[in-house]
Structure 1
Amino acid sequence: MAATDPSESLFVRPLGAVERNPTALKLILGGKLRELRVAAGLDPADVDGRLGFSRSKTSRIELGRHGCKLADAIALLDLYGVESEERVEEFLRLVDQSRRPDWWRSFNDVLSDFFTPLVALESAAERIRTYEPFYVPGLLQTPAYTRAVIQAGPGQLLAHDVMRRVDLRQERQGRLDQADAPYLWAVIDESVLLRAVGGREVMRAQLEHLVALMERPRITLQIAPLDVSAAAGVGTGVTYLRFALGDLKDAVYIEHLTDSTFTQKPQIVEQYRNMLDRMGACALTPARTAAVLRERLAQY
């Protein structure tokens, strides 16, 4: 069978930070395998049957839910007619990288299933946009503020579990300090500034931290006045991940009371992206936001 992909590479280049993110690589590899399968005129059941896969294994690989073994990748590429040794070698190298352990798996003891997709993919994004109605966004929190937020949540947590959750948030923040880290654009509700989470000293340190973070070129922070956030009708936290690669679809993470929604469905993603656009357009400018933060600090 002739090769189904005439391009020099099977992937959009450069991959950048994505190559350090096994979860993102699984999604990209799965999407590329889906393209090759469709071009070869096969459906998933055909592939499962021809290669002796268990039922739905091909679909799970294509959705990034099942890691692709090197032997399976070789068999799939051969079936789909990818004959170029260079392309096969590139694909297999990325398959190997996708099978490395994700850094966040060391926090599985405290990482909720519904939170995992966001943690797994945020460092692979080109841009992170978030709106928070109740707290300072997690990626901008001080350890003391994080601890207070966690302790105020439902249920009684052991001190060790609280510490582990704080460490997880700090690890997420640290990964955004890398040279090719995402740009972070955060909008917070004005009411967040009125809540002295953890007490006055904790909140003062948090406000000082926000002012300092606004000096960083990759961070934009805006405050949404109460009338703006009320008019927008958004009563929950939203995070939008913008990926630079066409091989990886943008995603949105929507928080609920006890769980969340993480989706890459274009219609839903576009709806929340538009909402964030409107919120950012109506919120205070970054310069005015910095001034308001300093004014609030003066009250402590």
Structure 2
Amino acid sequence: MGLRPNPSQRQRRLGIELRRLRDACGLTATRAGAEVGLSAAHLNHIEAGRTAIQPGKLRTLMSLYGFKQEQLIDALVAMCQSNGRGWWSEYRHPPHNDNARDLAELEGMSVRIRAFQWMQVPGLLQTAEYMRALFRSGEPDASEDDLKGFADFRLRRQRLLTEARPPEFHAVVHEAALRMEIADRGVMERQIEHMVEMTRLPHVRVQILPFRANVHRVNYSTPFVCYDAPVAELSTVYVEHPARSPFVTDQSNLVQFSEAFSKLSAVALPPIDLDAASSIPTRRDSLGLVQRLLYDL
């Protein structure tokens, strides 16, 4: 079997965890590989996500490393057994890229998704016309077919929130995202109304971070998404950046981003609640601010 030229994020993450656990017990790749019948080079390829490992050998490595957290071991075994052939496998050709497919697979593996956005509405809450305007501004040279392809892929990702056993979705959206003139007035109105309607789903929570919020202790201006796995150690953060959008997996950084999201949520307005007794536009909560924004458009 040849080596994978472009391992998926799941494959890379499995290798990262195996390397972390080996390093923690102080074993070399030569010594650890010999115990399970693998060369050092083969084990290094596994730890880089370039090739697979059999579940039995993975469990043997865990025993060798003295690692006994069964829940995490079972999660690692499930990762190595997955073939990664979800619906996103149908989108293996341009204009779609590996990052987009990795995000779709991450979303499908998550029990909770926490998103912070300050320039645009989170992707899972976007309308088709809003996302097309967004793609058109970000990819001015893209063909109409490519723009449609980007939108179709994101719309397919959105089904996650309405299918059986969806993850919790919690978004903190800066007021600026709702005031950006990404599209014309009608598109923006319908986008904001759609975002509000999505909060009718019991697992969807949206908070607005107003311009006047006291965020001096948070210091996070870059949008990011926390993908919380069933086993906390396997969670991932996706940090959006115009040049590169890296996946963060280091445990200390995961804690840092999780704490940052908690702080942002704490200073944001109370969540949109369409079941609230009153809908007075002057209320000091997320729904009240959204109503005022719609009035100003």
Q: Show the counterpart of 1:209.
A: 194
Please say if residues 14 and 79 of structure 2, whose CA atoms lie closer than 8 Å, have aligned partners that are also in contact.
no
Q: 1:147 aligns with which of 126, 129, 132?
A: 132
**How far apart are the structure 1 equivalents of 2:289 and 2:47?**
48
% identity of equivalent residues: 25
2:88 is aligned with what amino acid?
W
The alignment covers a number of residue pairs equal to 266
Q: Show the counterpart of 1:175.
A: 160
Q: 1:111 aligns with which of 78, 93, 96?
A: 96
Q: Show the counterpart of 1:285.
A: 270
Is structure 2 residue 172 aligned with structure 1 residue 187? yes
Is structure 2 residue 138 aligned with structure 1 residue 156? no
1:146 to partner: Cα distance: 0.6
**How far apart are the structure 1 equivalents of 2:153 and 2:161?**
13
**How far apart are the structure 1 equivalents of 2:95 and 2:144?**
12
**How far apart are the structure 1 equivalents of 2:214 and 2:50?**
40
Q: Show the counterpart of 1:4.
A: none
> Hey, which bits of structure 1, 4+ residues long, moved more than 6 A?
37-41, 78-82
Please say if residues 127 and 242 of structure 1, whose CA atoms lie closer than 8 Å, have aligned partners that are also in contact.
yes
Please say if residues 184 and 219 of structure 1, whose CA atoms lie closer than 8 Å, have aligned partners that are also in contact.
yes
Q: Show the counterpart of 1:238.
A: 224
CA RMSD of aligned residues (A): 3.4
**How far apart are the structure 2 equivalents of 1:226 and 1:80?**
49
**How far apart are the structure 2 equivalents of 1:80 and 1:291?**
53
2:165 is aligned with what amino acid?
D
Please say if residues 30 and 40 of structure 2, whose CA atoms lie closer than 8 Å, have aligned partners that are also in contact.
no
Are the structure 2 counterparts of residues 243 and 177 from structure 1 closer, same or farther at C-alpha, using a change threshold of 3 Å? Answer: same
Please say if residues 10 and 102 of structure 2, whose CA atoms lie closer than 8 Å, have aligned partners that are also in contact.
no
1:286 to partner: Cα distance: 1.1
Q: 1:129 aligns with which of 94, 99, 114?
A: 114
1:285 is aligned with what amino acid?
P
1:49 to partner: Cα distance: 5.3
**How far apart are the structure 1 equivalents of 2:210 and 2:62?**
55
Higher relative contact order (CA 8 A, sep 6+): 1
**How far apart are the structure 2 equivalents of 1:80 and 1:184?**
33
Q: Show the counterpart of 1:259.
A: 244
TM-score (norm 2): 0.75
Comparing 261-270 with 37-46, greater Cα deviation is found at 37-46
- Cα shift readout 1:183-211 (whole Å, capped 9, x = no counterpart): 11101111112123221111111011011
Please say if residues 24 and 124 of structure 1, whose CA atoms lie closer than 8 Å, have aligned partners that are also in contact.
no
1:139 to partner: Cα distance: 0.7
1:59 to partner: Cα distance: 3.6
Comparing 229-238 with 188-197, greater Cα deviation is found at 229-238
TM-score (norm 1): 0.75
